[in-house]
Structure 1
Amino acid sequence: MRLPITAIPPIIHDLQRASGLSATVAGLLTSIPLLTFAIFSSVFTKASQRWGTSHVLLFAFLILSLGAGFRVLPQVVALLLGTFLIGLGIDGGNVIIPAIIKERMPEHPTRGVSLYTTSMVLMSSLATGVVGLLTTKYSLTTTMTGLFLLSLVSVIGCLLLLGDHSAETRPAAKAEPRLPRSIWTDRLAWLITLFFGLQALLYYSLVTWMPTIFQSVGYTPTVAAMLVTILQLACLACALLTPLFANSKGGKRFMLAVIGLGFGCGSVGVLLPIHTLIMGGLLALLMGIASGFSFNLAIIFFTQKTSNGRETIEVSGMAQTFGYLFATVGPFSFGLLKSWQGSWQSTLIICLVLAITIFITGRLIERQETVFQDQP
């Protein structure tokens, strides 16, 4: 689900040449999906309660594939419409898949989350490296057609899910008990929302601006790009390691400490007067590990801090509505602050404050068992 977003930056210049996109409009190809996540997450939550998680997920991925098909056409309107539809489809998956993991793997939700996030990060990393190479050997149209065909894998997966009669596929509203009250009034749900929002803001802001920040302290553009690649690969490693820590309070506390130190020290470490390749690699590794653990832990909170699939999808929809709104605002705000201050110092200090905040938020989440636990 990350591939349709991360595949675009390496070929953005080819898309501009082929379709006549301006630089400003081209930027919408990555910002539209994030805005879509923020606006429509609650819609998919309600739809899944009425028609069932598996059916709505199939509909979401059909929309995603339709959007990928539109992007094959080298026209501005088709690109923007396709990107919007892709954002809708991904949003459906973002909201619904944690609930399906909770429903289908109730005894092993952490394993399901690990497989889910590992596959996303792996495909995201491959897309960044492979798509640009494909356009050098084949035409842009051929590359975009390949991405469209690849999107159909998600549709096939949903059809297999619907064909699995060993698991319950009734609508969530009938299969699960009613919520004792609105999820929007629950303190733990808001803490999980804040945690998800902070990790999304930090990840997307760092991925957007760290190449520029590294260059501003003396790294070459090539080295800066390599350091951000290290950051993203570290996310992949964390997805694989998460099950080792996530099933115990001690393990999650360790992850939270690494998240706080990684985001905090990794960010302000750039301000140190040491700009060697080893130092840059260490800082990128710290930020990447923090990003990987925080994203995986946020998804795990969706499943571990809820009692059933109905609660999971409610918390997932709520958290991702605000979380991706944070993610959309973050890169813009960081860039605006840099323009005002003339340097990245204030921005990096804010990252330190956010790192402390996400650590404290995670600890507060760990002190409660599940949502609605304070309900009489």
Structure 2
Amino acid sequence: MTLPTGRTAGTAAARTARRGSAALLVAGVFLIAANLRPAIIAVAPLVEAIRADTGLSATATGLLTTLPIVCLGALAPLAPRLAGRFGIEPVLLAVLAVLCAGFALRTAPPVLFLFAGSLLVGAAIAVGNVLVPSLVKRDFPSRVGLLTGAYTVMLSGCAAVAAGVTVPLMDALALPWRWALALWALPAVLALAVWAPQARRHTREPPRLPVRGLWRSALAWQVTCYMGLQSLHFYTLTAWTPAIFAEHGVDAESAGWLLSLAGLSGLPASLAVSLLAARSRRQGRYAAANVALSTAGVLGLLVAPVQGAYLWMVLLGLGQGTGISVALLLIVLRSPDTAHTTALSAMAQGVGYLLAAAGPVAIGLSHDLTGGWRAALVVLLVLLAAQLAAGLGAGRDLRVQGAVEPLPSVNIKRV
């Protein structure tokens, strides 16, 4: 029997340590993903309770849902600057801390604090949305498809859970709606604890000037429009589908479960599309599938919302799961390097979520003006045609190009 030498044993120990560190990093990424949607989505099944308690109109309640989405767009451009100054890992730790603070603020009785907490939640999610894809591109370049798919599954899956169990938990624990929302701080606290070691041993990269010329790229705008329109579709239907069902006699708990069904239905589509699309040179066919499924679901809500509710929500879930996977994957696949990924992610999510933020408010206003949902659903169908055009353009086998100039005299160091 040959005993391992000290050098061999040391190499094996180092390899084991690297694997353990990578596993902890992946676990941390997934836990962060698990917290990037429930803070927003959990509001939707509680809309009627919030309106009854606070007296908010449909338009004002739509604004409550929209504020975090506005933050996703307005604050996304700050993420690359923060990461360049402090490092990706410490900034993500701060994201989780701010998210917890937002949850806490929303428990305070004045309605103003409810809106202020929503702003904090949106600010945290905005930065996290941009930096996680950059982290995947930097640390796992050979597993982009797999990790993007798994990341998307966590996003969609936890959103679905939040939509489905928030009202049952509120009823089972006899909680007021504010504390039902606050329950979603618990996963954020867990993620904070798991991610803390990453923040202590982060890699600090040299600061870089912005990627120049990206905003003049037609391809970058196609990626951005596709991200924005699929997000508008998702957040609008998430915010108002329970209310649509409620107006047709469906109780709040059942409406929440129907919304959850859409999210759960999208999970297999998210993972499968991420794996398949990452291996394809062109992703236009997957964008077309997203639009076709979503169109069928919206048409169902328009024609027979209650009679075919389960089928419509499954179709919408498959469409939304496909859409978010394609959108996130396009940011990575259309970028030649990490610097472009961060810049394109900031552009696509910044402009895209500002576009998406208009959806819930506009639909709420449409309901207040017309007294129904028909006109709003027709508008969503028209926007799906524009989403198809953007997806086909962004799905071409091309890369965005911009000039990246590193600042001089900066050393890369392990902190």
Q: Could you say which TM-score interval applies, normalised by the shorter chain?
A: 0.7 to 0.9
The 8 Å contact of residues 137 and 341 in structure 2, kept in 1 or not, is answered as yes
Structure 1 260/59 Cα, relative in aligned 2: closer, same or farther at 3 Å? same
Taking only the aligned residue pairs, the percentage that are identical comes to: 26
- Cα deviations by residue, 1:290-344 (Å, 9 ceiling, x for unpaired): 1111111101111111122221111111111121112211123234445666665
Say if 2:50 is the partner of 1:21.
no
Q: 1:74 and 2:109 equivalent?
A: yes
Other structure's SS at 2:295 match: helix
| Per-residue deviation, residues 57-100 of structure 1 (Å, max 9, x unmatched) | 22222211222232343343443332221111111111111111
Provide the C-alpha distance between the structure 1 equivalents of 2:361 and 2:377, rounded to a whole number of angstroms.
14
* Match 1:64 to one of 64, 83, 99: 99
Question: Equivalents in 2 of 1:343, 1:139: separation in Å?
Answer: 31
Aligned letter for 1:188? L
Deviation for aligned residue 1:119: 1.3
Report the 3-state secondary structure (helix = DSSP H, G, I; strand = E; otherwise coil) of the residue aligned with 1:221. Answer: coil
Single out whichever of 225-234 and 121-130 deviates more from structure 2. 225-234
Which residue does 2:214 correspond to in 1? 183
One-letter code of the match for 1:354?
L
Q: Which amino acid aligns with 1:107?
A: S
Instruction: Measure the CA separation in 1 of the matches of 2:333 and 2:264.
Output: 26
Cα pair 1:259 1:355 within 8 Å, conserved: no
Whole-Å separation in 1 of the counterparts to 2:179 and 2:374: 43
2:7 corresponds in structure 1 to: none
1:305 match: 334
Deviations for 1:254-291, whole angstroms, at most 9, x for unmatched residues?
A: 4223112112232234455x6774x4433322222111
Which range moves more in the overlay, 334-343 or 323-332? Answer: 334-343
Does residue 1:282 correspond to 2:311, yes or no?
A: yes
The match for 1:372 is 401
Shift of 1:240: 2.6
Asked whether the 8 Å contact 2:90–2:200 carries over to 1, the reply is: no
Question: What corresponds to 2:236 in structure 1?
Answer: 205
Q: Distance in 2 between matches of 1:211 and 1:41?
A: 29
Take 1:243 and 1:187, find their aligned partners in 2: how far apart are those partners?
24
Question: Are residues 184 and 284 of structure 1, via their aligned partners in 2, closer, same or farther at CA, if it must alter by over 3 Å?
Answer: same
For the residue of structure 2 that corresponds to 1:23, the secondary structure is coil
After TM superposition, give the deviation of residue 371 of structure 1 in Å. Answer: 0.8
Residue of structure 1 equivalent to 2:120: 85
Alignment root-mean-square deviation, CA: 3.1
Whether the 8 Å CA contact 2:44–2:238 is kept in 1: the answer is no
Distance in 2, Cα, partners of 1:276 & 1:200? 24
The residue aligned with 2:346 is 317
For the Cα contact (< 8 Å) 2:146–2:275, is it kept in 1? no
Question: Is residue 2:184 matched to residue 1:155?
Answer: no
Q: Which moved more, 1:249-258 or 1:323-332?
A: 249-258
Q: 1:171 aligned to 2:210?
A: no
The 3 A distance-change label for structure 1 pair 271 and 79 is closer
Q: CA 1:120/1:47 → structure 2, altered by over 3 Å: closer, same or farther?
A: same
Distance 1:264 1:303, change over 3 A: same
Do 2:165 and 2:257's aligned partners in 1 also have CA atoms closer than 8 Å? no
SS at match of 1:306: coil
Map residues 85-234 of structure 1 onto 2, 5 A cutoff: 85-136=120-171, 137-140=173-176, 143=180, 146-163=183-200, 169-171=203-205, 173=207, 181-213=212-244, 220-222=249-251, 227-234=258-265
Distance in 1 (CA, whole Å) between partners of 2:346 and 2:318 is 25
Contact 1:48 1:172 in 2 (8 A): no
> What code does the residue aligned with 1:21 have?
T
- Match of 2:76, SS state, is helix
Could you tell me whether the CA contact under 8 Å between 1:260 and 1:358 is conserved in 2? yes
Q: Distance in 2 between matches of 1:146 and 1:211?
A: 20
Q: Does 1:326 align with 2:355?
A: yes
TM-score calculated relative to the size of structure 2:
0.77
Native 8 Å contact 1:264 1:352 kept in 2: yes
Q: Is contact 1:235–1:288 with CA below 8 Å preserved after alignment?
A: yes
* 8 Å Cα contact 2:152-2:270 kept in structure 1: yes
- AA partner of residue 305 (structure 1): R
In structure 2, do the counterparts of structure 1 residues 133 and 309 end up closer, same or farther at CA, with 3 Å as the change threshold? Answer: same
Question: 3-state DSSP class of the match of 1:372?
Answer: coil
Look up the SS of the partner of 1:74 in the other structure: coil
Q: 1:345 to 1:293 in 2, by over 3 A?
A: same
- Match of 1:41, SS? coil
TM superposition score normalised by structure 1: 0.84
Q: What is the one-letter code of the residue matched to 2:237?
A: L
Find out whether 1:352 has 2:386 as its counterpart.
no
> Does the aligned pair in 1 maintain the 2:50–2:56 contact within 8 Å?
no
Q: 1: CA distance between counterparts of 2:230 and 2:344? A: 16
Hey, what's the Cα distance between the residues in 2 that align with 1:161 and 1:122?
Answer: 24
Q: Which amino acid aligns with 1:150?
A: P
Asked if the contact 1:235–1:292 (Cα under 8 Å) also holds between the matched residues in 2, the reply is yes
Return the offset for 1:101: 0.9
Supply the distance in 1 between the matched residues of 2:98 and 2:154 (Cα, whole angstroms). 20
Aligned length: 363
Q: Classify 1:14/1:208 alpha carbon distance in 2 versus 1 (closer, same or farther; 3 Å).
A: closer
Distance 1:325 1:179 in 2: 21
